[in-house]
Chain A
Amino acid sequence: MSMQAALPVALIPGNSIIHRINPITKIVWVVGYIVLAFATQNIIILGVMAVFAFMLAPIAGITRPLLKGMLILVPIGSSLIALQIIAPAVEKPWTPAWELGGFVIYTDGLYYGLVLLGRIVASLIIALVMVMTTHPSDLFTSLAKLKMPYILNFMSSMTLQLIPVFQREFGIIMSAQKSRGMKGSGFAAVLPSFVPVFVGAIERVQQLAISLESRGFGSDGHKTSYRQVRARPLDWIIGVLGFVVLIGLSVISILKGLWNISALITFPGPFVAGLFFVCAAVFVGFLVLIAVFSFKK
Chain B
Amino acid sequence: MSEASAEPTLKKSKLNRNNLPMTLIVTLIPVSVALNIVGGYIASALRLPVYLDMIGTAISAIVLGPWWGALVGVLTNTGSALISGPVSLPFALVNVVGALLWGYGVRSWKLGRTIPRFFLLNVIVAVACTIVAAPIIVLVFGGATGNAADALTGTFLAVGQNLVGSVFSSNILTSLADKIIGGFVALAIIEALPKSLTANIDIVKATPLKGILFAVAGIVIGVLIVVIFLAIQAGTPAA
A-to-B contact residues, CB < 8 Å: 1, 3, 7-10, 30, 34, 69, 72, 75-77, 79-80, 82-84, 86-87, 89, 102-103, 112-113, 116-117, 119-120, 123-124, 127-128, 131, 136, 151-152, 154-156, 158-160, 162-163, 165-167, 170, 174, 184-187, 189-191, 193-195, 197-199, 201-206, 208-210, 212-213, 216-222, 280, 283-284, 287, 294-295
Residues of B within 8 A of A162 (CB): 30-31, 34
A198-B8 in contact (CB<8A):
no
Q: What's the count of A-B pairs with C-beta under 8 Å?
A: 239
In whole angstroms, what is the CA distance A148 to B38 when docked? 26
Residues of A within 8 A of B166 (CB): 87
A9-B30 in contact (CB<8A):
no
Residues of A within 8 A of B41 (CB): 3, 167, 170
B7-A221 in contact (CB<8A):
yes
The 10 A-B pairs of least Cβ separation, nearest first, read A221-B8, A76-B146, A80-B144, A162-B34, A79-B144, A75-B146, A158-B30, A209-B24, A79-B150, A116-B142
Residues of A within 8 A of B148 (CB): 287
B-to-A contact residues, CB < 8 Å: 5-14, 21-24, 26-31, 33-35, 37-39, 41-42, 45-48, 52, 55-56, 59, 75, 78-79, 81-87, 138, 140-148, 150-151, 153-154, 157-158, 160, 162-163, 166, 181, 185, 188-189, 192-194, 197, 209, 213, 239
Give chain B nearest CB distance to A77 CB in angstroms.
8
B38-A185 in contact (CB<8A):
no
State the main secondary structure of chain A at its contact with B: helix
A75-B27 in contact (CB<8A):
no
A72-B13 in contact (CB<8A):
no
B78-A156 in contact (CB<8A):
yes
Residues of A within 8 A of B79 (CB): 156, 159-160
Q: Which of A83, A185, A217 contacts B150 (CB 8 A)?
A: A83
A103-B34 in contact (CB<8A):
no
In whole angstroms, what is the CA distance A137 to B177 when docked? 38
Given contacts A7-B83, A9-B85, A219-B9, 20 further A-B contacts (CB under 8 A): A69-B84, A76-B141, A116-B141, A151-B26, A156-B30, A162-B30, A170-B38, A170-B42, A185-B47, A189-B46, A190-B46, A197-B35, A198-B55, A217-B13, A217-B23, A217-B26, A219-B10, A221-B8, A283-B151, A287-B148
